[in-house]
Amino acid sequence: MRSIWKGAVTFGLVNVPVKLYSATEDHDVPLHQVHDADGGRIRYRRVCELDGEEVQYQHIDRAYDDGERTVVLTKDDLAALPAETNREIEVVEFVPSDQIDPIMLDRTYYLEPDSKSPKAYVLLRRTLEETDRTAIVKFALRQRTRLAALRVRDEVLVIQTLLWADEVREAAFPSLDGSVTVSDKELAMSGQLVASYEADFAPEDYEDEYQTQLRTLIDAKIEQGEALDTSETFGEQPEKEDADVIDLMEALRRSVSGSKGGGKGASKEDAPDSAKKAPAKRSTAKEPAAKKASAKKPAAKKAPAKKPAAKKAPSKKAATPERKTG
Q: Taking Cα atoms as reference points, which of 5, 3, 2, 1 lies closest to residue 146?
A: 5
Residue 84 has what pLDDT? Answer: 65
pLDDT along the chain (326 residues), means of 10: 91 91 91 92 93 94 92 88 80 94 95 92 93 93 89 95 94 88 90 90 89 88 78 68 64 78 48 42 41 42 45 43 43
Residue 230 has what pLDDT? Answer: 72
Decide: 124 and 9 in contact? Cβ < 8 Å.
yes
Residue 243 has what pLDDT? Answer: 52
Q: What is the pLDDT of residues 186-205, one digit of tens each?
A: 899 899 889 998 999 998 99
* Terminal alpha carbon distance of the chain: 64
Residue 79 has what pLDDT? Answer: 78
Q: What is the pLDDT of residues 30-48, one digit of tens each?
A: 999 999 999 999 999 999 9
Quote the CA–CA distance of 279 and 273 in Å, as a whole number. Answer: 10
Quote the CA–CA distance of 193 and 274 in Å, as a whole number. Answer: 14
| Domains located in the chain, CATH noted | 1-24+79-167 (2.40.290.10)
Residue 220 has what pLDDT? Answer: 87
- Residue 41, strand partner residues: 34
Three-state SS at 216: helix
Quote the CA–CA distance of 232 and 203 in Å, as a whole number. Answer: 31
- Residue 10, strand partner residues: 15, 90
- Residue 70, strand partner residues: 65
Q: Taking Cα atoms as reference points, which of 104, 125, 146 lies closest to residue 4?
A: 146
Residue 116 has what pLDDT? Answer: 86
Residue 164 has what pLDDT? Answer: 94
Phi, psi of 313 (to 5 degrees): -60, -50
Q: How many residues does the chain have?
A: 326
What one-character-per-residue DSSP string does 116-146 give? S--HHHHHHHHHHHHHTEEEEEEEE-SSSEE
Q: Taking Cα atoms as reference points, which of 172, 153, 167 lies closest to residue 104?
A: 167
Give the containing element (helix H, strand E) for 153: strand 145-153
pTM value is: 0.66
